[in-house]
Structure 1
Amino acid sequence: MNHIPKIAVVGPESTGKSTMSDYLAAHYQTIAVPEYAREYCAKLTEPCTWQDEINMFYGQLALEEELLPQANKILICDTTFITVKIWSDEMFGKAPQEVLDELPKHPYDLYLLLNIDLPWQDDPLRNFPTMREHFMDVWHKELDSLNANYVLISGTGDDRYESAIRAIDEFHI
């Protein structure tokens, strides 16, 4: 099988990652890998534990592997397991070693880092409405440390979508 480029849609909470991923998948007539952690956390009855973070890491990897064969030329990923590292660092002071070991082994071809210029939308699974700038800085640092190919996507409405499409088209062609 030919290499299927993986496009990761990432960023702090409430930046429109899921909406953008669905939009891009429809635009490119391909599949979007949903954020495994969202469904996982929705089922939790207690605060997230260290083991939950590890479970979400393995779950995200498995979901991407499962859906990759359904991709049409590119695979859109609604976040990545870098999120597990970022949340673990914030909540527990460090990330699971298996996550750190695997990060460089699972690169994405292009990351779309969604800016925090959209208004905050409350959601029971969102925790840090006042820390979006902090997490934006963290995302830049994490992507830089991986030497990742990424583009900052800003704007609202159609402008935001068009910026993402332009970034993918410029990368992909």
Structure 2
Amino acid sequence: MKSTPAIFVVTGAESTGKSAVTEWLAKYYNVPYIPEFARSYVEKLKRPYTYKDVEIIASTQIKEIAGYMNSNYPFIFVDTWLIITKVWFEVVFGKSPLWLEDEIKKYKINIFLVCDIDLPWVPDPIRENGGEKRIMLQNRYIEIIKTYGFDYKIVSGINEDRFINALNIIEERIK
């Protein structure tokens, strides 16, 4: 019988292991995960991204999660999600689309696993926010998560410890 799966979002500032944690948890539980779409989208652009590009990214995130809302899976994992996209709009463009608010409110997120900034920031062609900005963004993500009334836990640790700490949080949720 199909039902709405629980949604576990792995989020946090750049270079905190979000994608690795998301993929590891999904493999461990043998459930699907929605990878970060923004990275692959921006990597393919041959120009600087625009407001419209970020709208496309947000719309794609919404479509991807909606595709799992009537499934046989007990839960799914999502890498980043709309909270980061909302903050991205606000920081880069000074505003976010009104429809994004409605979409964020529409979903019941079981918990946000916020990957700690205890890992070093590693630059790459897509990343923009190291140093103090990384700290500011991490705090802003948590602030927004709280504003919407979502539950969250910080996931810290180096290498395997990070995965085990994330796993322990999920285990508590699915008991």
Q: For the superposition of Structure 1 and Structure 2, which TM-score range results when normalised by the shorter chain?
A: over 0.9
CA contact (8 A) 1:68 1:75 kept: no
For residues 26 and 152 of structure 1, the distance between their equivalents in structure 2, rounded to whole angstroms, comes to 21
1:142 aligned partner: 144
Aligned counterparts of 2:135 and 2:18: Cα–Cα separation in 1: 16
Alpha-carbon distance between aligned partners in 1 of 2:27 and 2:71, rounded to the nearest angstrom: 13
- Aligned letter for 1:39? S
**Per-residue CA distance 1:14-40 (angstroms, 9 max, x = gap):** 001111111001111111111111111
| Cα deviation code 1:93-151 (max 9, x no counterpart) | 11111112321112311110000001112221110112111011101101100111111
Partner amino acid for 1:140? I
The 1:36/1:59 distance shift into structure 2, 3 A limit, reads same
Q: Is the 8 A contact 1:14 1:120 kept in 2?
A: yes
Matched, 1:167 2:169: yes
Q: Measure, in 2, the Cα distance between the counterparts of 1:67 and 1:126.
A: 29
Q: Gaps spanning 5+ residues in structure 2: where?
A: none
Q: Which residue of 2 aligns with 1:56?
A: 57
- CA displacement at 1:68 relative to structure 2: 5.2
CA 100–53 in structure 1, closer or farther in 2 if over 3 Å, else same: same
Counterpart mapping for 1:115-154 below 5 A: 115-130=116-131, 131-154=133-156
Distance verdict in 2 for CA 1:68–1:19, change over 3 Å: farther
RMSD: 1.5
Q: Secondary structure at the match of 2:67?
A: helix
Tell me, yes or no, if the aligned pair for 2:3 and 2:71 is still in contact at 8 Å. Answer: no
Please report how far the alpha carbon of residue 69 of structure 1 lies from its aligned counterpart in structure 2 after TM superposition.
Answer: 5.8
Q: 2:80 maps to which residue?
A: 79
| Structure 1 unpaired stretches of 5+ | none
Corresponding residue pairs, total: 173
User: d(CA) in 1 for partners of 2:64 and 2:103?
Assistant: 16
State the identity %.
Answer: 30
Q: Distance in 2 between matches of 1:113 and 1:104?
A: 19
Q: Give the distance between the partners of 1:126 and 1:87, measured in 2 at CA.
A: 12
> CA distance change for structure 1 residues 71 and 9 in 2, over 3 Å: closer, same or farther?
farther
